[in-house]
Amino acid sequence: MTNSDAIENVILELRRGVIVLAALSLLDEEQYGYSLMKRLSECGLEVEQGTLYPLLRRLEGQGLLASSWRIEEGRPRRYYVISQAGREALPGLKAEWGGIVGMMGKVLSK
């Protein structure tokens, strides 16, 4: 592994951690995988299909999301929304995120 690979890797790890929270937050509004991917991309968070789709299934399996398979606009899509449990967890997770941002602010300024 070269140096720049390692740096690329750090950036990936940095982004990876926030994907779940971003997805949970955006799925306050019902959306299907592909549209969520586009939405995240617009926000500046590029996520591969091979990352996002399994992630959504995982979060559904963990009970933080719910999904339904429907045909809309002539096309079958799996729609995801945040579940009751997810909705209840979200404020705590946002607070946790705020804490991390504050903590990193201190660490990085040193």
Partner DNA sequence: CATTATACTGTGTTTCACACAGTATGTCAA
Partner DNA sequence: TTGACATACTGTGTGAAACACAGTATAATG
Pair of tokens at residue 1: 């592994």
User: What, of DNA, a second copy, none, does residue 89 touch, CB below 5 to 8 Å by kind?
Assistant: a second copy
> Does 89 participate in binding DNA (rule CB under 7 A)?
no
User: What, of a second copy, DNA, none, does residue 14 touch, CB below 5 to 8 Å by kind?
Assistant: a second copy
Return the number of the residue (75 or 109) whose C-beta is nearest DNA.
Answer: 75
The CA distance from 53 to 86, in Å, is 18
Judge whether 79 and 70 are in contact, CB under 8 Å: yes
81: phi then psi, degrees, rounded to nearest 5: -140, 160
Let me know how long the chain is: 110
> Does 47 participate in binding a second copy (rule CB under 8 A)?
no
- For residue 50, give every residue at least 6 positions away whose Cβ sits within 8 Å of its Cβ, in sequence order, or none: none
Judge whether 80 and 56 are in contact, CB under 8 Å: yes
> Does 64 participate in binding a second copy (rule CB under 8 A)?
yes
We find the least distance from the C-beta atom of residue 86 to DNA, in angstroms, to be: 15
Judge whether 77 and 60 are in contact, CB under 8 Å: no
User: What, of DNA, a second copy, none, does residue 35 touch, CB below 5 to 8 Å by kind?
Assistant: DNA
Residues binding a second copy (CB under 8 A): 1, 3, 5-7, 9-11, 13-18, 20-22, 24-26, 28, 43-45, 59, 61-64, 85, 89, 92-94, 96-97, 99-101, 103-104, 106-108, 110
